Amino acid sequence: EASFARIQEVDDKIKAFVTVNEEAREHAKKLDEALDKNETRGLLFGLPVGLKDNLMTEGMKTTSGSRMLENFVPTYSAAVVHKLAKAEAVMMGKLNMDEFAMGSSNETSYFHPTYNPWNTDYVPGGSSGGSAAAVAAGEVSFALGTDTGGSIRQPAAYCGVVGMKPTYGRVSRDGLIAFASSLDQIGPITRTVEDNALVLGEIAGQCQRDPMTAAEPVPDYLSALTGDVKGLRIAVPKEFLGEGVADDVKASVKEALQLFEKLGASIEEVSLPHAEYAVSAYYVLASGEASASLARFDGVRYGYRANATNLQDLYDKTRSEGFGDEVKRRILFGTFALSTGYYDMYYKKAQQVRTLIKKDFDDLWESYDVIIGPTTPTTAFKVGEKVDDPMTMYANDILTIPVSLAGVPSMSVPCGFSNGLPIGLQIIAKPFAEDTIYRTAHAFE
């Protein structure tokens, strides 16, 4: 009831939701009744959760922020949705996002933008902007987002909440509408580090329906919250505090680092020499993969279908009318980069860069436990400020994308404010060391 009331109260202004699940009330009642008979309760018993709208929910509209799926109702639910249900969370509905998760501001959603709860003149970030805003505004206890190049961490930073992008392969992508399958990961967005650890523990683990999930056992993340970072070896890449990063963000991150030092951690400057090529490589790879992932939206199998006179016409019209500008830009660019004659020049080259970036990170894990820097170069920008300038919008992801290409886990945790807008600290660790990230973040929180 509190969650419904809060949605009623603020969502006209925030616009985080695409679909509110009216059946949540019934579900909550059933859980309540079962409580009387049952002794054990799920770890997320009764907690209101919101889901990014690219996570499939059986019987409930799943739009991926697109006209293409405006009326699409899946016949099955994502693996993470099953896991949340098993843990007895109550699903409050589906949260707004950039169309097919392509964007950094939630402005590419077909339906409407979402606004930053701290100041509605500003964007909440993207593409999981609805998820971050709903949590920041107290509409839900926690939310799930997805991150391909920064889409959990960047909106978490802009909205002053905690957002974890787990290791690639840590959480099943079964039932996630793919953007770029070699990068996509699902993760929790929460108000505290502890909540985050709790939720990841419930959704992580190997899954038969996602062959890329790892057999790696899921540790008890809560036991990592010791508050102790004595002896923790922190690396700070100089590229993460370079020219493009705003002074207020730098100052806040430096303050955080001093605090870690006070708590007994050691800090050293390092370099990620190939990080500067990450954004270029990412847009070739992610767009190439997206051009393939989105080929299925042809007017025949799913979603939107245009009126047409023949099959070719059906494909053309459906895709012209169903996709927005940003999605089309990626499909065209991705198709071009993958085409015969250009493959070696762009896609293969980008893969080689990706390998070098991964190696930059690998080289650090022997000497350091975590890498720390800002999540984003600036605080949230104004609604409309970058919407017509894709290159500036892309550059915004400069600090999150290298991590995505390396496939390592990384979390944004609030570390300060500037002019009333939150600043995010990014904590990165080696593959499957989410527990180290939680330990680090918790000591700081």
9 φ, ψ (degrees, to nearest 5): -75, -45
Contacts of 241-245 with CB under 8 Å at 24 or more apart are 241/373, 241/374, 244/377, 244/395, 244/398, 245/374, 245/377, 245/378, 245/399
- Of 15, 52, 94, 386, catalytic: 52
Which residues ranging from 96 to 155 are in contact with ligand GLN (CB under 6 A)? 101-104, 127, 147-151
Q: Could you tell me the two tokens for 257?
A: 């680092």
> What is the chain's alpha carbon radius of gyration, rounded to the nearest angstrom?
21
Closest approach of ligand GLN to the CB of residue 92, in Å: 22
Q: Could you tell me the two tokens for 122?
A: 């500003």
Closest approach of ligand GLN to the CB of residue 296, in Å: 18
CB nearer ligand GLN, residue 235 or residue 427:
427
| Bond preceding residue 127 cis, omega within 30 of 0 | yes
Closest approach of ligand GLN to the CB of residue 183, in Å: 7
234 φ, ψ (degrees, to nearest 5): -105, 130
Closest approach of ligand GLN to the CB of residue 173, in Å: 13
C-alpha dihedral sign at 71, 72, 78, 83: positive
Q: How far apart are the first and last CA of the chain?
A: 29
Out of 11, 397, 434, 435, point to the residue binding ligand GLN (CB under 6 A): 397
Helix (H, G, I), strand (E, B) or coil at 3: helix
Contact 152, 163 (CB under 8 A): yes
CB nearer ligand GLN, residue 240 or residue 260:
240
Annotated catalytic residue 52? yes
d(CA 270, CA 67): 45
CB nearer ligand GLN, residue 3 or residue 131:
131
- Of 3, 105, 151, 172, catalytic: 151
Residue 305 burial (10 A CB sphere; 0-12, 13-18, 19+): middle
Determine the size of the site formed for ligand GLN (CB under 6 A).
Answer: 13
Query: Taking the CB of residue 351, how many other CB atoms lie within 10 A of it?
Result: 15
CB nearer ligand GLN, residue 145 or residue 299:
145
Closest approach of ligand GLN to the CB of residue 47, in Å: 25
Which residues ranging from 29 to 88 are in contact with ligand GLN (CB under 6 A)? none
Annotated catalytic residue 287? no
CB nearer ligand GLN, residue 147 or residue 174:
147
Closest approach of ligand GLN to the CB of residue 126, in Å: 6
CB nearer ligand GLN, residue 397 or residue 434:
397
Closest approach of ligand GLN to the CB of residue 42, in Å: 29
Q: How long, in residues, is the chain?
A: 445
Contact between 360 and ligand GLN (CB under 6 A)?
Answer: no
Which residues ranging from 181 to 240 are in contact with ligand GLN (CB under 6 A)? none
Closest approach of ligand GLN to the CB of residue 101, in Å: 4
d(CA 188, CA 411): 10
Contact 418, 252 (CB under 8 A): yes
Which residues ranging from 164 to 183 are in contact with ligand GLN (CB under 6 A)? 179
CA angle 219, 224, 225 (to 5 degrees): 140
Helix (H, G, I), strand (E, B) or coil at 336: helix
Which residues ranging from 258 to 287 are in contact with ligand GLN (CB under 6 A)? 286
- Of 3, 104, 127, 141, catalytic: 127
CB nearer ligand GLN, residue 21 or residue 108:
108
Q: Could you tell me the two tokens for 335?
A: 């198709």
CB nearer ligand GLN, residue 108 or residue 252:
108
> How much helix, strand and coil, in percent to the nearest 5, is found in the chain?
40, 15, 40
**Contacts with ligand GLN, residue ranges (CB under 6 A):** 101-104, 127, 147-151, 179, 286, 397
Catalytic residues: 52, 127, 151
